Amino acid sequence: MKELFDSYRPLLFSIAYRMLGTIVDAEDIVQDTFVTASTKNLEHIENTKAYLCKMTTNRCLDVLKSARKKREVYVGPWLPEPLVMDQVYQDPSKDIIGKEYLSTAYLYMMEKLTPIERTVFILREALNLDYKEVAQITEKSESNCRKILSRTKQKMNINHDQTSFTYEENKNIVIQFLKALSTENTQQLTQLLSEDVVLYTDGGGKVIAALNPIISRSRVLSFLFGISKKATQHTEIRLANINGQPGFIAYENKIPVNVTTYRFENNKVKEIYTIRNPEKLTNVV
């Protein structure tokens, strides 16, 4: 069982985290899957990977049912719990599969999807499972899975020709952005922000945060300048790899108080995601 655990844990965590957007829940589901599997005779299972993936996705779907109800009454925008990829000791972030479909932007857009759409998209696009395996796991026909994926891509509505997920290029934009913000260089910030930029802040009703998305360059700039002026001598900013994309962690007296990531389009910041809910920062150090 240990060999099975070591072999499939990254895959199963990759599914569970993308499905739920929470680290603890994902880890619990993976652990529960292996505990259940240890009580079964797996020698007679034709496809062990598909069997374990199916157990994991079914558990995730059960959790999503109650999670969606909670998110409907969530205070302000709901954003996924950040996964800090450069905390090398933080297993399983170092061995998660399919990092290109892990960004906060992708996970946030997945909230538009139905559970089955989310499942098919993650299994096929993020983890590159073949349609036969996707069909086995979801108990849908291969042709139906293809149709679901096509519909899902339309819902996601991501322009890959304009959206950049290149880490180093995006990191340079983040560095320029933070420097311009610290010096209140409005001209450079205007060049770095899209005119229709949107800023989402997730405080979860636990801390002060905008209850609605902030839309337009002028409004986002006003908000950011206001936040920047509240920084103290105890405020620290650290660049970090958040969900496979460059972002930063803000600390007050060495305690993380927010994690911010971005989506970039045409070399400009298109969306900003700031997570301030302390319950979602427990895995950040």
pLDDT of residue 162: 66
Q: Are residues 137 and 248 in the same domain?
A: no
Task: Provide the domain limits for residue 186.
Answer: 164-280
Residue 50 sits in the same domain as residue 144: yes
What pLDDT is attached to residue 42?
Answer: 76
Within 8 A by CB and 6+ apart from 101, the residues are 18, 122, 125, 126
Is residue 249 in a domain? yes
Give domain status of residue 285, yes or no: no
Final residue of a structural domain among 130, 156, 182 = 156
Please identify every stretch of the chain with a pLDDT value under 70, giving residue numbers as ranges: 1, 87-95, 97-100, 158-162
Domain endpoint, select from 134, 156, 178: 156
Measuring CA to CA, which residue among 73, 68, 75, 129 is closest to residue 98? 129
pLDDT at 66: 84
CB 122 within 8 A of CB 18: yes
Helices 142-156, 131-138: inter-axial angle, 10-degree rounding: 90
Cβ(270)–Cβ(197) below 8 Å: yes
What pLDDT score was predicted for residue 100?
A: 64
pLDDT tens digits, 12-55: 999 999 999 999 999 999 999 999 988 888 778 888 888 999 99
- CATH number of the domain where residue 109 is located: 1.20.140.160
Domain's final residue, options 94, 121, 156: 156
Cα(88)–Cα(77) distance, integer angstroms:
29
